[in-house]
């Protein structure tokens, strides 16, 4: 292992979620490096809805917190040390972490779908630790260099931006597209920004919250609807992206898509819902989901560096490592977009 100067310490502070869903601040060994990994001194970490879900529920589907685990997967920082197979010149580089480690030879990886590798090791998904800690490790090729004009916060938020890019790709958004997005939370707002960057002509977003609708109009949406008082099913959009997970929003959104249009399911809701099959069949709709992302970081970084997507403006809360529990609570407020944790503070 090659390190920066001074040498990273032997231990680090980490916010740890216990199986009883309590959080403790713990002193842990700094993770050891595999030969192809780098050690990142974490600068900023965004709170995701999955972090909140693990904290409140202790599980997401089949992923159960049955042992102490560090939350947080939206992260960036500075490379502090490298494994023996990594160029030492990378030490000191500011990076955004793509928080996953697929198998190198799985069928999914070899087909280019490494996000679907069944043996994936993903940050803050049991039993893999995340980044609410002073240091984290990642394979060198998943530590993406960021230019000087990109902030520490934006480096961390390349992860949710990558979700937005993956959704826009599946929806085939292009110049002139008309898009409906259900849910004006952080992901919905990011998808709206990506749609604008891709050249969408009309970006309609729906949400029950007036405050969130107003926020969305500041971040790329051209129109914001209250689905309780306005009928979205008459919109005839080219693509519908659900970022809410709400069954009524999904079924209404399906009816809002023109024939041969596309539907992309992003939001996490009930594991099973009823769908209008005749609408899908008769209109030959393409209905798909996304599961994380593949090969999105270079574009995400370029969009932010060029000013095409604003991630810094999404930050609505800032907390230290000892305040993770408070940060998780604040992140669920209607006025919140992205709440950040700074492990080094």
Alpha-carbon distance of 30 to 107, in angstroms, equals: 33
pLDDT in tens, 62-71: 899 999 999 9
Confidence of residue 1 (pLDDT cuts 50, 70, 90): low
CATH number at residue 282: 3.40.50.720
Alpha-carbon distance of 18 to 26, in angstroms, equals: 11
Both 171 and 199 in one domain: the answer is yes
Tell me the β-bridge partners of 144.
96
Confidence of residue 57 (pLDDT cuts 50, 70, 90): very high
Both 207 and 188 in one domain: the answer is yes
pLDDT at 273: 94
Both 171 and 283 in one domain: the answer is yes
Both 192 and 281 in one domain: the answer is yes
Alpha-carbon distance of 208 to 173, in angstroms, equals: 25
Is 222 part of any domain? yes
Both 193 and 117 in one domain: the answer is no
CATH number at residue 24: 3.90.180.10
pLDDT at 2: 67
Number of domains composing the chain: 2
Residue 61 domain boundaries: 2-157+311-342
**300-337 residues labelled b (16+ CB within 10 A) or e (exposed):** bbebbeeeebbbebbbbbebbbebbbebbbbbeeeebb
Both 43 and 135 in one domain: the answer is yes
Q: Tokens 């971040």 label which residue?
A: 219
- The mean pLDDT value of the chain amounts to 96
In the three-class reduction of DSSP (H, G, I as helix; E, B as strand; rest coil), residue 189 is classed as: helix
């Amino acid at each position: 292992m090659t390190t920066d100067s001074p040498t990273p310490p032997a231990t680090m502070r980490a916010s740890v979620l216990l199986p009883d869903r309590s959080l403790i601040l713990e002193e842990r060994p700094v993770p050891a490096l595999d030969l192809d990994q780098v050690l990142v001194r974490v600068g900023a970490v965004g709170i995701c809805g999955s972090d909140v879900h693990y904290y409140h529920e202790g599980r997401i589907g089949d992923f159960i917190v049955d042992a102490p685990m560090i939350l947080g997967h939206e992260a960036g920082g500075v490379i502090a040390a490298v494994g023996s197979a990594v160029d030492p010149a990378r030490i000191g580089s500011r990076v955004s972490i793509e928080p996953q480690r697929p198998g190198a030879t799985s069928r999914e990886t070899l087909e280019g779908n490494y996000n679907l590798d069944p043996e994936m090791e993903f940050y803050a998904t049991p039993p893999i630790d995340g980044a609410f800690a002073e240091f984290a490790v990642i394979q060198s090729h998943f530590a993406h260099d960021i230019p000087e004009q990109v902030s520490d916060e934006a480096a961390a938020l390349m992860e949710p931006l990558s979700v937005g890019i993956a959704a826009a790709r599946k929806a085939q958004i292009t110049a002139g597209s008309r898009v409906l997005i259900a849910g004006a939370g952080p992901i919905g707002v990011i998808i709206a920004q990506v749609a604008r960057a891709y050249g969408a002509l009309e970006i309609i977003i729906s949400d029950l919250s007036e405050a969130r609708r107003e926020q969305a109009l500041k971040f790329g949406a051209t129109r914001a609807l209250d689905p309780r008082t306005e009928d979205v099913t008459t919109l005839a959009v080219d693509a519908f992206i659900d970022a809410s997970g709400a069954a009524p929003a999904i079924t209404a959104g399906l009816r809002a898509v023109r024939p041969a249009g596309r539907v992309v399911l992003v939001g996490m809701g009930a594991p099973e819902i009823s769908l209008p099959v005749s609408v899908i069949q008769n209109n030959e709709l393409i209905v798909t989901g996304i599961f994380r992302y593949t090969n999105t970081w270079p574009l995400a970084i370029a969009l932010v560096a060029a000013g095409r997507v604003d991630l810094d403006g999404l930050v609505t809360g800032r907390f230290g490592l000892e305040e993770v529990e408070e940060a998780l609570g604040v992140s669920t407020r209607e006025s919140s977009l992205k709440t950040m944790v700074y492990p080094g503070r």
